[in-house]
Amino acid sequence: MTNYGSKFERLDPGALSRGLARHAEAFCRHWFPEGRKVGNYWQMADISGAKGRSLTIRLNAQGNSQAGKWTDHQNGDHGDLLDLLHYRLEPVAYPDLLRQAADYLGEAPVIPDDGTSDYEPAVTSNRQIEAGRRLFSYGRPIKNTLAEAYLRGRGIARFGPALAFHPNAYLRAEDGTRLEIPALLAAITDNAGTVTGCSRVFLNAQTSGLADIEAPKRVLGRLHGNAIRFGEVSACTDLLAGEGLENTLSVGMALPKAALASCLTANHLAAFAYPASIKRLWIARDNDEAGARAATRLADRADADGIEPLILTPERDDFNLDLTTDGVTKLRRRLAAFINAHASEHDLWPSA
C-alpha cells in the first residue's frame, strides 16, 4: 500500500486542475480512450467516456477559453478535468480523488500559504436554476402546438403539466449569435416537486422534428438527481425511471397508469434520487453499454436502500423505436407480461 503521508495532506485542487489541463490530450487518452480527437477537442458521448459527440473537452487554450474545460451539449453540464476524473472514479472520496490526480501528474502541489485556492467544483448556480424556472413559466400548454406535433410524430400522446411550448426560446450559438427557435419545454423537479430546471428540445417548424443545430436537446438549471415527472409520483409505490424524455414517455404510452421519471441521460439515470417511499423502481434503460451501466448502478443503490429494482430493456436501441416499429399494443403486451411475472402487486398496470 502506498504511504502518502503528509505529502498529500494539503493538496491544492486548483493546482491539480491546472496541471491536468496542461496535459489535457494525454489525460483524455488515458482516462477516456473510447473518445476521439477532433480538431482542438476530445469528443465522447457523456461523462461515462463512451463513444459519441455530445461532450467535448478543449485540449488547448484558445483566446480566453481555457484548456481542459468541458461541456456536455446535451444537458448543459460543464466543468474541468478534475470534475471528469471525479465522475470516472465515482464513488470516490474527495481526498482520494486529489491523491489520484496527484499520482497521475507525478507531483503534489500544496495549498498556498494563505490557505486560498481558486478551484471550485462545477455546480449549478442558483442563477441557472432560477433561469430554468423562469423559462418554463413562460411556456404555454402544448395542445395544438409544434411541441405536440413533434411528440405525436414520435408516436407519443401521453402528455402532462410537466410539458410546455415556447414559440421562440433563445440560445447562444458558438459564435455568439443569439438564436430564437421554438422549443418543447419540460420542467425538471426534485422529490418535493420544486422546479430545479428546464429541459429544452429545440424544434424545426418546417419538419416538426428536431432543429438542425448542434445539440438540439439542452438543459437549463439543475438536473443531477432530479427528473421530469409524469403521473402520481408522490403517491406511487412503483416508479418507472427512464433515460430520454421520448423513450420514457414511450413506455408511458404502453403503461398509462405508471408514474414516470425521465432523467434525460444515462448518467443522470444512474444518479437519480428516487423517493424513499416507493417499494419498487422499474428502470427503463436504453439498449447500449451506457444504459446497461446506468441501470446497474441505479439498481444497486435502490437494492441497498431496500427498494426492489427491476430493469426493463427494449428489443431495439430504445423504447421509442420499439413503440414506433411495433405499435403501442405489442409494446404494452410485452411489458405487461414482464411486469406481471416479476411483481404480484403493483400500480403500474391494472391487475387481471
pLDDT per position as a tens digit, 88-117: 887 777 888 887 887 777 643 333 333 333
Beta strands of the chain (E only): which ranges?
36-38, 41-44, 55-58, 70-72, 78-79, 163-172, 178-189, 195-202, 217-221, 228-230, 238-242, 259-262, 280-284, 308-312
At 126 the three-state DSSP class reads helix
Cell numbers 433563445 label which residue?
170
Domain 8-105 in CATH 3.20.20: no
How remote is the C-alpha of 234 from its chain's centroid?
A: 22
Same fold? 8-105, 127-342 = no
Q: Are the C-beta atoms of 240 and 258 separated by less than 8 Å?
A: yes
What is the full per-residue pLDDT of the chain (352 aa) written as tens digits? 333 333 334 578 888 898 899 889 888 988 898 899 998 999 998 888 888 888 999 999 888 889 999 998 887 888 899 999 988 887 777 888 887 887 777 643 333 333 333 444 444 457 778 889 999 999 999 999 999 999 999 999 999 999 999 999 988 766 667 889 999 999 999 999 999 999 999 999 999 999 998 778 888 888 888 999 999 898 899 999 999 999 999 999 999 999 999 999 888 898 899 999 999 999 999 999 889 999 999 999 999 999 999 999 999 999 999 999 999 999 999 999 999 899 988 988 755 4
- Spell out the domain ranges in the chain: 8-105, 127-342
Q: Which three cell numbers stand for residue 160?
A: 402532462
pTM, 2 dp: 0.70
Q: Which fold has domain 127-342?
A: Dna Topoisomerase Vi A Subunit; Chain: A, domain 2 (3.40.1360)
